[in-house]
Each structure stands twice: as structure tokens, then as C-alpha cells.
Amino acid sequence: MILHVDMDAFYASVEERERPELVGRPLVVGGSPTGRGVVSAANYEARKFGVHSAMPVARALRQCPELTIVRPRMELYVDISKQIRAIFYQFTPDVEPLSLDEAFLDVTGCESLFGSAESIGRRIKQQIRSQLHLVASVGVAPNKFLAKLASDLEKPDGFTVISPDTLHATLDPLSVSRMWGVGRVTQRKLERLGISTFGDLRRLSSAQARQLFGPTGEHFWNLSHGRDDRRVVAERRAKSISHETTFAQDIQDLEILLAWVLELTEQVAGRLRSRQLMGKTVNLKVRYSDFHTITRSSSLDHASQSTDEIWQVASKLLRTSLPERPLDIRLLGVGVSNIQRHRPRQLQLFDEAGQPIRPALDKATDEVRKQFGRHALRRGSTLRHTRSRPRPELEE
């Protein structure tokens, strides 16, 4: 059995935990409203006003003038994510993180030690609440697709089990928009054919689905039956480190997408440094509204864990390597592969040529920010970016 654990409004919930006076107020974690800042996370009070992640902060403020805006503190979120993951590892070694705030867990081989998958899921949820004072939604199911779907059904603070006995009763009434790969365009096409729910699609034959939708038709048909044969890939066996985000609404603005590339890069680079790893190949993943997905890669001339170096490559890939078609992006991801262990060396600020050694600066910056806050230090490279070209603003 598979668990999907998803923290509710993670960044915003962490900020509420750290500052209890924010509880009950509309809150977003994001960039400056005077620049090109975007919403990284919105609490549920803010969502009542239509505010959601990936929205420009300026627009969010127009929709909710009483909105409180808190700058991201990625080092804090990474540290708490490690604590959450430590709870997961108490129950299973097979943990596949999708981002800082969600992961798949395969507990199939652990049920003899810790009880049923449902029991394990409830214990994990309770430990996150009691130890970290945060709330997670948990889905329990036979495969990854169903587990992720289950975790979203009763948010926030949800707990849903989908078993073989309850599979069709749970899936059939659901909108096809909940299927992986069904964006707005595909949903409209399905509805024009009279297919608005899982049950409508399940009543077709596999051949009919292929005839109507081509190669993806069989994919949709399998999902309508709750089928997914992907395995949980444990992080400890992974050959790359990546983060991706699916937007609540498709994004067409390149500047907003660049801002998201920066935030995803900070997460990836921070995770590399926290695990004493480096990577040589930078990967960009883009999924359009029609579910067409492309990846682009470019290799550095040396392995790195530097936010600035990875950002330079990832942002260039976004700006120059996409196909000639309108931007209409529903998912964006940044990753690093060709991973190798970082070899510690004496900390110094400049190499023999007088150039900054970015990994060392990043490490020192991580430590200072962890102790004194995100804005205690800024990279000199961010000033160069600001002078040389407009840059997405995730912070002041």
C-alpha cells in the first residue's frame, strides 16, 4: 500500500506556527507586490478571496487588500521538511519526496511491524501534529495515483483511504479534471463528448478511448479504473534531485515563470547542500495546459551546488530552449542530475584568480540565514543580476 502525505499550505502554516498572531488572517508567502513577486503559498483564509499559489502578489493584494505578505524563508522550510521526512523514515525506508511538503511512502513491507497502512498513515499524521505543530493530509491507496488523489479529497486536515472495495464508488462521481493530464483544454474536449466524470470515461472501452483521444486516451481510461503501475522511487536511490510545482491556474507570463524557476532552484540547491551533494546537469521540466511535457537539460563544466550557477542555466533554458508555441504552462520543475558527493574543503571566499567560490559562499549564507533570517545576507551575484537584466523578485 502507498501513502501520499501532503502538508496543508506548508509555507504559510510554518509562518503561522512561528508567528501565532497571523493565525486567522489572510496570509501569503511570496515576493514583493511592487515587483514581479509571485505567491509561493496561500493559507486557507486567503484562498477564500481567490488567492492561490503562482498568482502575482500585486494581483493577490488587489483581490484581498487585508492580505499579509511574508517573505519566503527557504532555509527554515528545508529544515522543517527534514524533520517531517525523519518521521516518515521511522516507518519505511521507501520515501519518494515530490517537494519539500509532499511525498509518497511505500509501506507494503512494513505493515507487519507497524500495523495496517491506514494505521501507519494515522500515526504519521498524529506525529507531525504533535511534534511539529503542523497539519498534513494523508491519502492511503494501492497505488501512487490513487494515494495522491485521496490526500486531496478532504483537504485541509484530510485522511482518506481508497481500497479495492471502495474504488469505483469513490472515483466514479469525481470530475475528470482530477485526472493527471487533464487540463482545461482536455476537460472541455471531454465534456463536449459527454464525459465529465471518471465513471463516464470508465464506461468506454479501451479501444473507444484510444479512438477518441489518441495515445493519451488509454492513459485516461486506465486512470478512470484507478490503475497506475509506477513504483515509489526512494530518495536514497535517486540519481537526481528536483522540485516541481503544478499551478492552480495556467501561467502565460514569462517573468512569473522565471520567478518560479528561481524559487525552485533555491529549493534544489539548498537540498543539495544539506545532503553534501553536487550535480553537473541542470534539468528543466515544462508541462503545457494540453499536458504536452518537455524537458530540457544543459551541463555545467563542473559539478555544483550553487544556487546562482544552477539558476543561470535553468533560467537560460526557460528563456531560450522552449518550442515556438504560446506559453500556457501548468507545471514547472527544476532538477539537477549527474549527482556526486561533495568533497569538503577549507572554507574560503575567493579562489586563486580572485573569483568568488559560490559553493562556499552558499554554505556560509545558509548557516547565517538559518540563524538570523533569510535577509541577513544576500549574494553579490544577485546584485549583478539586478544590474544586468530584470530579475524576478521573490524578496526585497
How far apart are alpha carbons 390 and 393 in whole angstroms?
Answer: 9
Residues shown for the chain: 396
> What tens digit of pLDDT does each residue of 317-349 get?
999 998 888 888 988 999 999 888 765 544 444
Out of 102, 235, 309, 393, the active site residue is: 102
> What tens digit of pLDDT does each residue of 211-258 get?
888 878 888 899 999 999 999 988 655 578 888 888 877 888 888 899
pLDDT of residue 389 exceeding 90: no
Phi, psi of 316 (to 5 degrees): -65, -40
For the chain, which domains are there?
2-9+75-167 (3.30.70.270), 10-70 (3.40.1170.60), 175-224 (1.10.150.20), 239-388 (3.30.1490.100)
* 102 carries an active-site annotation: yes
Contacts of 139 by beta carbon, 8 Å cutoff, 6+ apart: 3, 4, 6, 146, 147, 148, 149, 150, 151, 152, 153, 158, 160, 161, 162
pLDDT of residue 37 exceeding 90: no
How far apart are alpha carbons 256 and 333 in whole angstroms?
Answer: 14
Please give the average per-residue pLDDT across 264-278, as a whole number: 85
Q: pLDDT averaged over the chain?
A: 84
CA-nearest of 14, 229, 2 to 100 is 14
> What tens digit of pLDDT does each residue of 279-304 get?
999 999 998 887 788 999 999 988 99
Cell of 94: 521507501
pTM of the predicted protein model: 0.69
- Alpha-carbon dihedral angle through residues 329, 214, 195, 164, given to the nearest 10 degrees: -90
